[in-house]
Copies of this chain bind each other. A is one copy, B any other.
């Protein structure tokens, strides 16, 4: 007889990624006669054209070799790096200091810290659909909820403000706004961002601005939310991950834009959480001042030119496919393609993705993986000839499945 009772905690079992099963149902055939491709992996470092630049890697190697970054540091992050980030992300309306910057373990860690201090059990945050399921997973871990609001697929994935109005509750603590947008590839106009800020002001809801793709546009200006308001507290999440093409370095940050100190009580709470979970590797943080100092003026333009070329291929190749709408991708590393199933014999983007993988050897991420439907996301990082080949296969697939 063995009566050890060994049951994991309820909240750990609730820490579910809601789209994991969907994603794992999309399988490439084992014996496909041509090369197979995945346009699903949102990790730029995986693609040869998007390798980290040497000014980034050199800065980390130098810090590692110095021997000064092997130990513990301030649990809110290495001071000079926080100063660099405060300078880099200060705007005309608001100057950040080191104290407004917390360096965290990736963008993921930064989001986790914010949700830890904002959410009591039963509270909720509003997240976009399509959007990032991690927010839902983390909210569930805290016995809280992530409620989705719609983005409008045929209006360049702008926020459906009427839907927001329907979804907000008295327990809503934050709205998450991802801009430039993963997964949609959209970049919001200043006017649209002002509409969102006015909505937040009206409902007294703070903003979590997920700006992990800060400045990554094809030319359209990116307005950081912190630069547009004095009165709505904005907690901005950034990271080295995507802007410097090193997601594995696990170094992100929280920037607190709160001119009138409405959120002063959150600061000691953040300290407590960070004293528990600590900081990313100090030598990586030590690289930050050097990285920003050595940042070539045309760095983002060069990186984004490559993404834009790929977006153009997708747009041009799919322009004459009636069932698909690429919209006008404007930034980040993605294009979200809306599907109209009306004349097709497949009826969901999951089915679309499953059959496309089996029949054409191309993996795309269905919108269900982003808490949405009737669309799919393409990562714009493969070599251009691969993207061309994949678009041709998608076109064949659509033709074959149009009834």
- Give me the interface of A with B, judged by CB distance under 8 Å: 2-13, 15-17, 20, 43-46, 51-52, 57, 60-61, 64-65, 67, 69-73, 105-106, 108-109, 112, 116-120, 123, 134, 137-138, 141-142, 204, 206, 233, 245-250, 262-263, 265-266, 268-270, 272-273, 275-284
Q: List chain B residues, Cβ under 8 A from A72.
A: 43, 247-248
Q: List chain B residues, Cβ under 8 A from A272.
A: 12-13, 15-17, 137
Q: List chain B residues, Cβ under 8 A from A61.
A: 61, 64-65
Query: Across the two chains, which residue of chain B brings its CB closest to A9?
Result: B120
Task: Determine if A105 and B250 form an interchain contact, defined as CB atoms under 8 angstroms apart.
Answer: yes
Q: What are the nearest 5 A-B pairs in CB distance?
A: A8-B269, A45-B71, A45-B70, A12-B269, A248-B282
Task: Determine if B15 and A273 form an interchain contact, defined as CB atoms under 8 angstroms apart.
Answer: yes
**What's the least CB distance linking A230 to chain B, in Å?**
13
Q: List chain B residues, Cβ under 8 A from A206.
A: 6
> Can you list 22 A-B contacts with CB-CB less than 8 angstroms, sorted by A residue number?
A3-B204, A4-B204, A4-B233, A6-B263, A8-B266, A9-B119, A10-B120, A11-B116, A12-B270, A12-B272, A13-B269, A13-B272, A15-B275, A45-B67, A45-B70, A71-B246, A72-B248, A105-B278, A108-B278, A109-B277, A141-B276, A249-B281
**What's the least CB distance linking A57 to chain B, in Å?**
7
